[in-house]
């Protein structure tokens, strides 16, 4: 069944995407975690299996710290590009990140969150999904890649990722 989430007050995010106040977000068969830095009130309706509140937010702090370090690397890369035009130095490439771990350890959540944070700053990272057993971009048994642009992270999408204005489901 469909579970509907509505932010009533405060601020909250889902995989790094801010939720709009009083806007319904529908989910079917999804495991989600809504996070708030300063507190919020949400309304859940419809069918859901588990619902709980937790004060354990260490992963979100780690996600933001990782995002900040990636931004430093992106800025360094852009700076070297502009300086390269004036000199013969090699340009620095932007960061490449490999996220790996055991099943159900939060790899997809981390990817979605980092992609969302990057697109908020008008970055266009390339998302490469190498998980052939659980593809988020294509059919199982394949690997795929797509650039993710501003507005490219959709909290209500099953994968959370959109490319070129089309939702990837």
Tokens of 102: 């055991």
- Residue 93 is predicted with a pLDDT of 86
Rounded to the nearest 10 degrees, what angle do helices 58-84 and 107-120 cross at? Answer: 50
Owner of token pair 């590009």: 81
How many Cβ atoms are within 10 Å of 137's Cβ, its own excluded? 17
Beta bridge partners of 147: 126
> How confident is the model over 141-158, as pLDDT tens digits?
999 999 998 764 566 665
For residues 68 and 23, the answer to whether their CB atoms sit within 8 Å is no
Query: What's the rounded Cα separation, in Å, for the pair 21 and 8?
Result: 6
For residues 121 and 132, the answer to whether their CB atoms sit within 8 Å is no
Phi, then psi, of 108 in degrees rounded to 5? -65, -40
Q: In what order do the strands lie in the sheet with 34-35?
A: 17-18, 13-14, 34-35
Phi, then psi, of 53 in degrees rounded to 5? -110, 140
> How confident is the model over 23-76, as pLDDT tens digits?
999 988 888 889 999 999 999 999 988 888 888 777 889 999 999 999 999 999
The percentage of residues in the chain with a pLDDT greater than 70, rounded to a whole number, is 84
Q: How far apart are the first and last CA of the chain?
A: 18
């Amino acid at each position: 069944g469909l579970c509907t989430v509505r932010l009533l007050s405060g601020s909250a995010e889902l995989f790094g995407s801010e939720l709009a106040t009083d806007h319904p977000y529908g989910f079917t068969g999804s495991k989600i975690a809504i996070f708030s830095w300063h507190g919020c009130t949400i309304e859940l309706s419809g069918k859901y299996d588990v619902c709980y509140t937790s004060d354990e937010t260490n992963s979100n702090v780690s996600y933001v710290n990782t995002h900040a370090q990636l931004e430093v690397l992106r800025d360094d890369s852009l700076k070297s590009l502009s300086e390269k035009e004036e000199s013969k130095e090699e340009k620095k490439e932007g960061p490449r990140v490999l996220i790996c771990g055991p099943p159900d350890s939060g790899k997809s959540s981390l990817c979605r969150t980092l992609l969302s944070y990057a697109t908020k700053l008008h970055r266009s990272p390339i998302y490469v999904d190498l998980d052939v057993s659980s593809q988020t971009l294509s059919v199982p048994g394949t690997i795929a890649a797509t650039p993710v642009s501003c507005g490219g992270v959709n909290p209500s999408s099953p994968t959370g990722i959109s490319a070129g204005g089309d939702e990837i489901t």
